[in-house]
Structure 1
Amino acid sequence: MTEIAPASPARGSSVRNGGDLVVETLEALGAKTVFGIPGQHALGLFDAMGRGNLHFVSSRVENNSAFAADGYSRATGEVGVLFLSTGPGALTSLAGLQEAYATGVPMVVVASQIPLEGLGARRKGMLHQLDDQKASAANVTKSQRLIQHASGIPSAIQDAWTEAISSPQGPVWLEIPQNVLLDPIMVPPVEDALAEAADNPPRIELVREAVKWLESAKRPAIIAGGGTRRGKAEKSLLSIAEKLHAPVICTPGGNGAFPWNHGLSLQSWIEDRYMTDLLEDADVLVVIGSSLGEVTSNYFTFEPRGMIIQIDAEPRVLESNRPGLGIRADAGQALAALDSALGSGRATMPDWHGSTPEELVKESLAKVRARLESQDLAKELTFMAAIREAVPADMQTFWDMTIAAYWGWSCWDAREGQFHSAQGAGGLGYAFPGAIGAAVGLETAGKPGRVLAVSGDGSSMYSIAELATAKQHNVPVTWLIVDDGGYGILREYMVGAFGKATATELARPDFVALAESFGVPATRVAPEGVGDALRAGFAADGPNVVVVETLLKMFGPTHLAP
């Protein structure tokens, strides 16, 4: 009987193993960068990466590795790839994966596992052992797979990549036991791999029904959520809005999906009650890529009186908060079909109680501005305007869950750049590692450019260790830390609800000295100096930090001042 010899060594290695198959398959699928942290059970994977061409960015905390892979994907439109070690490493990533899952960011996550003989509790007490590691990821990933044989690695990764990019997009979890990564293999080197997004078009009878509603609507309006951007539906959205003469408002996730200064743009003031009133008055409301959840519904005060057409790739979202005509489809495909079916558009102009749509938009934005000016918010308005003026039009920005970001949700004109925040799951610490991943991704894609991260002092401490990552890789990220001495938004919520705040005040470091201890240049400025400080940071090389000590307030979104 003839013995089958192992495949020939590849890329200078004496022995190929399962780790090589992981790296080869990812490269064949087009991956160029991987984020993560090495671990004992994953050493075969990292050893194989040394024989390949993947660029590895090692974060200091796994959660931040997940945020970085997320930011890489958002900035480039490519799949983010994350390598995790077993047990504590895998579990530490979950909050970052929750954000990616909630926001629909395509990622492939490869986690190591204990050796096969320890799986299923047959041998207890192994280092990092969990009863069922992949079950821990079930709430924050689209699917989870355990690969038990090296020959199954290429197909499993190819399938995971396909699932990650198919709408609704999101992270997909794979785990591979230590011995499967390490043992020699006879599988030949991976030469090609193919992953194409599954088609997710709208059903034609639903498109026809939606067109019927819209052609007879007297007051149509549109809410553009994050799915609009993920589906690359901006061009179709603009065409439909102009055909219908329909005002468009963007959610925080949809910020940038519609031109900010267009005559039909209500911008992103979704949390202002004037905008809620307007949307409630629409007789047909088109909701794209949004669940009409907490923020979009102005904290569930939204009571629409008209009919709703809801388009979303995730079937669980449809009618989850409001009844309507639910169309399960990728936003890009759905809006393209709707745009085509609308033809040349409406024959008559909508009538908003005697006002044209453009007049209504202008009046509504003026009301919002007047409300803001009546609430003693000159410092906040000036501060946000100074940041916007300093940031180049095409720069991508990443925002933590901080008061500045809450302002950004409503007032930030993304222009030619992109606005990214952690509003999907709402965890702290997203901005800086997300911006690191974005900057790495833009460089890899041949579009090098600086990225801005904005955090509070509380949220910045979640990712402060990544100053080492930024310095090690000389990543062009400017990190703006707005230091108000505590969890500012929680302080404001508690004072508003209970008259006082409890456990919101924080001891914090000297952020300038701390950044400089990592070898990262930093400066502290007063609020009125933030614009000049940012411009100087943008002109520098590598990472830098700008610290502003100030207490910002939120605007009151109702008819009463706070």
Structure 2
Amino acid sequence: MTHDHDLVLRPTAAQSAAALNPPPGRNGGDLVVETLAGLGATTVFGLPGRHALGLSDALRRSDLRYVGLRVENNAGFAADAYGRITGEAAPLLLSTGPGALTSLAALQEARAASAPVLAISSQVPTAGLGGGRHGYVHELPDQAASFRGVVKSVHPARAQSQIPSAIAEAWKSALTAPHGPVWVEIPQDVLLAGTHLPVVTAVDATPEDLPPRPELTAVAADWLTGADRPAIIAGGGVVRADASKKLRQLAERLDAPVVTTPGGKGAFPWEHPLSLQSWLEDRHTTDFLEDADVLLVVGSGLGELSSHHHTFTPRGRVIQIEADLGKLESNHPALGIHADARLALQALLETAAERTDDTAAGRVREVLSRVRDRIPSQRLTLEQDLLASIRRALPASSPSFWDMTILAYWAWSAFDAKGPNTLHSAQGAGGLGYGFPAALGAAVADPTRPVLAVSGDGGALYSIAELATARQYDLDVTWLIVDDGGYGILREYPTDAFGQATATELTRPDYVALAESFGVPGVRTTPQALESDLAKALASPGPSVVVLPAVLRMFTPTHLA
């Protein structure tokens, strides 16, 4: 009997000849870029560095496209967005010590949002590893230890023969559900030394499937079919698994209303009769979900932003489908199904019987009506009008990337994403500076569509240097900067808590003049002119900046209203 593990792929005569006669002038860095190319990578992000010169030199000999940003954290955000848009692992090339550590906040966001980023860092020479006492520039006692609590997995390579397998193993980890950032680390001397190893050609790193256990989906299907008031919360796992169509099919089969989380924006059609849209920070929506006798949560851990700041207390049965084992039942008891959202939804479609509820659409309309009646009572028409103007100006298929700014908080609840994988923000980890560099990564991933970035003036200062990147690569990104003179959302929190804010006011530049100094067109707009100015900028090839001076407010949480 022949077993699969007994099968060995024998090289052809041509492959053997090529392996025995590798081209001259290669180094350890060539093994990195050859492995990446063999895995299907076409683009890498990053910055050069002293310990990574062997890798930079190898890039010169490769066909990989290099996109260099100005700050490592911004390069991480760009790689994050590239991974979200393409569904591929995005290589991020970093140097040692300060350069590597500067990427930590971006990798934390990628981990929280399950974005597949393949970070490859250099290290001090092999002789200096392990102690932090050798006096090498950039040396850390244990560099990888700084990343183990942030990334999904760590893969050191200490010899050239380890490089292809370490990178392939990391690639597989990044793309196995739940997706996430991974860390590969290679010493300087290993990257620089010449190599006689053959060119890397046969690399296998197929991600593992994560199917649901059939006995669990059988119980879930029975509960949903027999429910009187089923409801569904759809999170980012639905988007990442490309399972939006299956979600819609299941919701229609069950006549179950659907609400999407900030990470799940666009996973369900906004104007569908069963769509509760995204008003999770509204008590009317929360009450409706709490009243469900069976609640299906797909691809969400029901964290702070998806549980009305942990005030959500479902009274019925909960079914949770989640690829991240650590998030399964982490906030609420449930029938926990550890699985990829697409495979689990398919299993439910194959087992759940159809149910009819003529009242479901009417109950959805009633909830949305209550939400819409509440917001105008707080005199917040400016914020709603701005979102409407942005929506009309932005092409339906164009992605948008939102920084941690008041308008983004509004967008989580009130913006129609028009489709899955089109609205992205930094709500996973909540760090500033995400919007613009992430939009650059998306424009690299798909240059056929203009991309929108939205920042406040505080967040914009985190990534202003990337205007040079946008101009250098002529990336089709329009950057909307809402200038309110400080950290707007951080004004609101302490003002509500203490009656006044501290350390939130900022001296900032003339953003239009600054953009133009980089060779990027800029315009100062008004709420009334925003739609036309934004549409014009989005329709013009290349980067542009639109600055909107405006002080915005958040809607009052419903438990306080």
- The interval holding the TM-score normalised by the smaller chain is over 0.9
Q: Does 1:249 align with 2:259?
A: yes
Partner of 1:415: 418
Deviations 1:387-427 (A, max 9, x none): 11111111100000000100110111111461000000000
- SS of aligned partner of 2:276: coil
| 1:94-147 CA distance string (max 9 Å, x none) | 000000001001111100001100001285111100011111111221111210
- Give the 5 Å matches for 1:235-246: 235-246=245-256
Q: Equivalent residue for 1:78?
A: 88
- What SS does structure 2 have at the residue aligned with 1:528? coil
**Does the Cα contact within 8 Å between 1:482 and 1:549 map onto a contact in 2?**
yes
Q: Which amino acid aligns with 1:174?
A: V
Are 1:49 and 2:59 counterparts? yes
Cα distance in 2, alignment partners of residues 122 and 435 from structure 1: 37
Distance in 1, matches of 2:371 and 2:128, equals 61
Cα distance in 1 for residues equivalent to 2:416 and 2:53: 45
Counterparts of 1:333 and 1:15, CA distance in 2: 47
Gap change, CA 1:550 and 1:7, over 3 Å in 2: farther
Contact 1:7 1:186 in 2 (8 A): no
Alignment of 1:313-352 (within 5 A): 313-343=323-353, 345-346=354-355, 348-349=356-357
Residue 385 (1) aligns with residue 385 (2)? no
Distance in 2, Cα, partners of 1:240 & 1:295: 25
What is aligned with 1:225?
A: 235
Question: 492-501 or 275-284: which moved more?
Answer: 492-501
> How far apart are the structure 1 equivalents of 2:74 and 2:483?
21
Matched, 1:476 2:476: yes
Cα distance in 1 for partners of 2:161, 2:133 equals 25
Shift of 1:273: 0.8
CA distance in 1, matches of 2:244, 2:52: 41
Q: Provide the C-alpha distance between the structure 1 equivalents of 2:287 and 2:431, rounded to a whole number of angstroms.
A: 30
Does structure 1 retain, via aligned residues, the 8 Å contact 2:230–2:256?
Answer: yes
Tell me the secondary structure at the aligned position of residue 70 of structure 1: helix
The answer to whether residue 440 in structure 2 is matched with residue 430 in structure 1 is no
The 5-angstrom pairing of residues 113-132 of structure 1 reads 113-121=123-131, 124-132=134-142
Residues in 1 aligned to 2:181 and 2:479: alpha-carbon distance in whole angstroms:
26
Secondary structure at 1:492 match in 2: helix
Residue from 304, 316, 322 that aligns with 1:294: 304
Cα displacement (A) at 1:555? 1.1
2: CA distance between counterparts of 1:321 and 1:123? 44
Alignment map for 1:141-180 (pairs within 5 Å): 141-180=151-190
Instruction: Show the counterpart of 2:404.
Output: 401
Which of 347, 360, 365 is 1:362 aligned to? 365
The SS at the match of 1:199 is coil
Instruction: Decide whether the 8 Å contact of 2:232 with 2:259 is kept in 1.
Output: yes
**2:274 maps to amino acid:** L
Partner of 2:376: 373
Contact 2:133 2:141 in 1 (8 A): no
Structure-2 change in CA distance of 1:364 and 1:178 (3 Å): same
What secondary structure is seen at the aligned counterpart in 1 of 2:320? strand
Q: Which amino acid is 1:369 matched to?
A: R
1-structure distance, mates of 2:543, 2:430: 25
TM-score using structure 2 length:
0.95
Q: What is the CA distance between 1:157 and its match in structure 2?
A: 0.9
- The question of whether the paired residues in 1 share the 8 Å contact of 2:77 and 2:438 is answered with yes
Bigger mean CA offset, 75-84 vs 174-183? 75-84
Find the counterpart in structure 1 of residue 107 from structure 2.
Answer: 97
- 1:253 Cα deviation (Å)? 0.1
Does the 8 Å contact 1:68/1:437 carry over to 2? yes
User: What is the Cα deviation at residue 358 of structure 1?
Assistant: 0.2
Q: CA deviation at 1:536?
A: 1.1
> Could you tell me how far apart the structure 1 residues matched to 2:79 and 2:132 are?
34
Equivalents in 2 of 1:33, 1:318: separation in Å?
34
- Where 2:271 maps in the other structure, the secondary structure is coil
> Which residue of 2 is the match for residue 486 of structure 1?
486
Q: Is the 8 Å Cα contact of residues 453 and 479 (structure 1) preserved in structure 2? A: yes
Match of 1:439 among 433, 440, 443: 443
Cα offset, 1:559, TM superposition: 5.9
Q: Is the 8 A contact 1:146 1:174 kept in 2?
A: yes
Distance in 1, matches of 2:411 and 2:248, equals 22
1:452 aligns with 2:460: no
How far the C-alpha of 1:301 sits from its partner, in A, is 1.1
Q: Which amino acid aligns with 1:240?
A: L
Give the stretch that moved more between structures: 427-436 or 373-382.
373-382
Task: Confirm or deny that 1:271 pairs with 2:281.
Answer: yes
Determine the structure 2 residue equivalent to 1:545. 545
Q: Supply the distance in 1 between the matched residues of 2:324 and 2:379 (Cα, whole angstroms).
A: 41
- Contact map agreement 1:6 1:186 (CA 8 A) in 2: no
Runs of 4+ in 1 over 3 A off after TM superposition: 5-10
Distance in 1 between residues matched to 2:539 and 2:245, nearest whole Å: 33
Say whether residues 1:65 and 2:75 are aligned partners.
yes
Whether contact under 8 Å (1:117, 1:123) holds in the other structure is no
Distance 1:278 1:159 in 2: 44
Is 1:40 the counterpart of 2:44? The answer is: no
Note the alpha carbon deviations across 1:150-185, whole angstroms, 9 max, x for none: 011111111111111000110110000011101111
Secondary structure at the counterpart of residue 374 of structure 2 = helix
Distance, in Å, in 1 between the alignment partners of 2:334 and 2:235 is 16
Deviates more, 1:527-536 or 1:552-561: 552-561
1:16 counterpart residue number: 26
Question: Residue 548 of structure 2 aligns to which amino acid in structure 1?
Answer: V
Asked if structure 1 preserves the Cα contact closer than 8 Å seen for 2:45 and 2:66, the reply is yes
Q: Corresponding residue for 1:139?
A: 149
Deviates more, 1:73-82 or 1:484-493: 73-82
The equivalent of 1:353 in structure 2 is none
Q: What's 1:515 paired with? A: 515
- How far does residue 349 in structure 1 lie from its aligned partner after superposition? 2.3
In structure 1, C-alpha distance between the alignment counterparts of 2:261 and 2:144, rounded to whole Å:
33
Distance 2:360 2:253 in 1: 12
Moved more, 110-119 or 73-82: 73-82
Q: Which residue of 2 is the match for residue 535 of structure 1?
A: 535
Q: CA deviation at 1:557?
A: 3.1
**Residue 316 of structure 1: SS of its match in structure 2?**
helix
| Cα deviation digits, residues 34-74 of structure 1 (max 9, x gap) | 11000000000010000000111111100000000011111
Cα deviation for residue 502 of structure 1 reads 1.0
Give the drift of 1:313. Answer: 0.5
Does 2:214 align with 1:210?
no
Q: Is the 8 A contact 2:211 2:340 kept in 1?
A: yes
For 1:438 and 1:96, the matched residues in 2 are separated by 15
Give the CA deviation at 1:462.
0.5
Is 1:199 equivalent to 2:180 in the alignment?
no
Letter of the structure 2 residue corresponding to residue 189 of structure 1:
V
What CA distance in whole angstroms lies between the structure 2 residues aligned with 1:332 and 1:211?
A: 15
Kindly state the Cα deviation for residue 323 of structure 1 after the two structures are TM-superposed: 0.5
Identity %: 59
Q: Which amino acid aligns with 2:519?
A: G
Gaps of 5+ in 1: 351-355
What is the identity, as a one-letter code, of the residue corresponding to 1:423? Q
